[in-house]
Chain A
């Protein structure tokens, strides 16, 4: 039987893909060396995709023989991915030109990786998840090494690619074993098989374990996290922001889909596993972050720790935990994109200012930027009234509500440890005198716009979280049916 084709179900992703193709053509047109218009068109595509997602709000259907799902969950993630991609595009425009690496392909690759992300968010089948994962990752591998002249860029790209390929191997092997155990790669049919007793099948168990390894790589959870710091450091800062926000969100989307739709009946089994991964990621991420002197590396470990926090919500499961995860990913996208956005505007002695000591005295010279950065950092710590506080509150709240009190306690203790290294940046900005040549702010209108949007998100979600939280919780419901 031929699969039924429903373009509706993949419309948001299609919009991104079509925009990317359009950019391929536009890139061929002769211009006077500037590629701004490509970013603007790309941004328009992102906005269009988000509008389509909003327009489709409330749909709940399966398409392409159950390969693709169009539900609130997918749409919510489309918005998160849209924000992440849009912010990254805005941040990149002047940044690339400054580094002398402006090129149309950059924007095209960003859009293609976003296509992969939306595919992962809306996947109803392990194969589609894998497809999305690869589409996303291949673009990111290239983007990570964009500053080709730099040694660390090559290192980042190479490591990311090699380890990513390794993780994909795990992932694909896991899919194969699960197919062997259940006879299907479709999440619904796996769910039926698992409920029917396949849960004890060693094939399924091993397959699932390998799948977790694959996901663990993408969400940078311990012990699959080691690439994170090197890649975050070597990649262009705007690409780092995309890896930290969009790709992480998409991986969590797929992970949640697998866990909640296919394996919900055996939640106690996987909850223990993720309990351990959450604790390891939080603790290792935060502890190692303490020792970092490079802001990008520090934020890399911070992102590992945040994967741990988000896994707390995964452990809790259900509408509460799942909703908490979705909400937190939205929060994290604004906060992290904002934090990287600030870093990317700073220069010292003509190179990017990424050392913690570069921040010294920033508050006196650029008070608004310092304040903005402080807001993002406070949100990462989880201090009210920023979004980070509300996000953590609901994650840990869900854990407590479902009986994982100790997990919540460990999470809170970890947040306290984390406060040290985030606040250290604020201390440097406000209380240290700069030594040597000053760190300068390179003004950029699009990046300023991106920071404004991110700041809006952090404040909005911190002060008025209720409607977004309701959306996040409603988005998880289709998975639980």
Chain B
């Protein structure tokens, strides 16, 4: 098993290196390296998954990494049912996205660079999932952040893209700061960073306050990476990256890292019940908050971005109420349908020669049949219409919230579900059906995407249809999925009755119906979609002014301060000092250089003087 496990990250790493070193030569054939690399990685993941389903697990060191006194850390991989599932999602969905990218990015100048980053991204995420200790987790947590920066700002010539890349990186830093502190606190508390040892030592001998601090600091990191309130602002801007990147970030890698990390460290969170409560509420609030913004956005990718934030909120809500398996299950199904929606949106954008604005779409379903059908499947999955995957996984979370006595949270999530169904079908009706608002130019060129793009769509649509039925049917012993994860997470309560699913289906259908009434029943004009009708609409359209708030509270004062530092403090004090020291040292160097006369006699004299000085010094000390 050991070899198999290390093969999973090896393939994308090799792909990265090959494309990075020989990208110039490989150029537009880069996908011949990157896509098979991911395919092989997926096959290895699948083989590992099969072994794990047979009850095997693996924990092993590649090598001892850092040894500094009592601080010992190895490059450790850990494979258990949780990581096996994550690996399958990361490499599987990642593979489809790679395949799709070969079509989407066709002809781009940075083709090889793109695949280099893409492979590196998957490699980092795989290592993040495989990591067997917190330090390694942290390293690849950061690596994933780096890759997101590189890919969001992939079209760096575009100011908005490079700004978005920076924003993603900086906002993530805020969360990572807490995450880093949390890991340090784990080290000082338990004296180890190894998962197994930390969780084994997590007992009542440590105070609840410490556990709470650790859990909240870790969660701070999760908030940044998984774009939860109040660190969600980077994700919508991340749309500046190429669409496959958005799909990769939103579905398979990056944002799921936070949920995974919280689930992985659930032992620590459970020792501090308050922290779980906070996780659940942050998740619930984010779910509704982001969904409400998604109601009015006019950029197709932005709707999906807020949808991702909202759905991640569901996952955190699930994890927060102790339904870990449900949270992870939603992560998996979400990976399928969100990748599908993003790639579908990408296909639409591709077909419309780069148009992303919902106001300039409409009635393209007949000309892009595969895209339209699969997109509707994805939308239904997201809305939670039975029997698609999203229905089962969202339902698990809702049911868990209801049965754990979080009634308010349950209602919140239910409201979110209504909004979800509404906003995604709003996109469906506006983009695919109704009256055409396309510009004459675009209307002329509408075309279905090539097979290399539509095949991944079809596969993901298939997964969206079957995943729920195959894995999510509740039984007396929980779902098949939760039974698989039982070695990692404590067994959950089973069979919860029909009330919750019924209510959620009613809510979802109501959302879809409302969307149809407003946007599907009759043609709507571009103005109707975008012009705010009232204050609430305006508030939502401006995303609750969070960006403006941050700009006023953090960014501007910081800019003012840095401006002052740069002009006054840096130029005057620091630069002065540095230049002064520099000049001093160089002057000194020029002086010392003169000692180096080149005459052997002088050198010998220097040596003699040195020897005399040493002997004199030693003798003087001996007195």
Contact = CB atoms under 8 A, between A and B. Distances in A.
Interface of A: 158-159, 162-163, 166-167, 170, 200, 202, 205-206, 208-210, 212-213, 216-217, 222-224, 226-227, 229-230, 269, 272-273, 276, 284, 287-291, 368, 393, 397, 417, 420, 464, 466-467, 469
Interface residues of B, number: 35
Contact of B619 (A202, A272, A288, A469): A202
A166 B607 contact: yes
B65 A209 contact: no
B380 to A, nearest CB: 48
A466 B613 CA distance: 40
Interface in B170-203: none
B565 interface: no
Interface stretch (B229-237, B251-259, B351-359, B589-597): B589-597
B69 to A, nearest CB: 8
A170 B593 CA distance: 26
Given A290-B585, A291-B593, A464-B63, A223 B622 contact: no
Contacts of B619: 202, 205-206, 209
Interface stretch (B337-345, B486-494, B535-543, B598-606): B598-606
A325 to B, nearest CB: 18
14 contacts: A158-B600, A159-B600, A162-B604, A202-B622, A205-B622, A216-B610, A217-B607, A224-B610, A269-B622, A291-B586, A417-B585, A464-B65, A466-B64, A467-B64
A222 B63 CA distance: 40
Given A276-B617, A288-B592, 9 more contacts: A159-B603, A162-B604, A163-B604, A200-B622, A205-B615, A217-B607, A227-B603, A272-B621, A284-B592
A288 B64 contact: no
B68 interface: yes
B618 interface: yes
B611 A230 contact: no
B615 A223 contact: no
Contacts of A368: 21
Nearest to A165: B604
Interface string B79-104: 00000000000000000000000000
B67 A209 contact: no
Dominant secondary structure of chain A at its interface with chain B: helix
B554 interface: no
Contacts of B66: 466
A226 B606 contact: yes
Interface of B: 21, 63-68, 582, 585-586, 588-590, 592-593, 595-596, 598, 600, 602-604, 606-607, 609-611, 613-615, 617-619, 621-622
What 9 A-B pairs have minimum CB-CB distances, sorted nearest first? A223-B610, A209-B615, A213-B611, A291-B589, A466-B64, A226-B603, A209-B614, A290-B589, A205-B618
Contacts of B609: 223
Contacts of B21: 368
Given A167-B607, A226-B603, A466-B67, A273 B589 contact: no
Given A200-B622, A224-B607, A210 B615 contact: yes
Contacts of A420: 582
B585 A209 contact: no
Contacts of A226: 595-596, 602-603, 606-607
A223 B610 CA distance: 6
Contacts of B610: 213, 216, 222-224
A420 B598 CA distance: 26
Contacts of B67: 466, 469
A288 B596 contact: yes
Contacts of A202: 619, 622
Contacts of A417: 585
A393 to B, nearest CB: 8
Nearest to A160: B600
Contact of A288 (B63, B68, B593, B613): B593
B9 to A, nearest CB: 15
A167 B606 CA distance: 12
Given A202-B619, A464-B63, A466-B64, A287 B592 contact: yes
Nearest to B592: A288
B274 to A, nearest CB: 38
A222 B614 CA distance: 11
A209 B607 contact: no
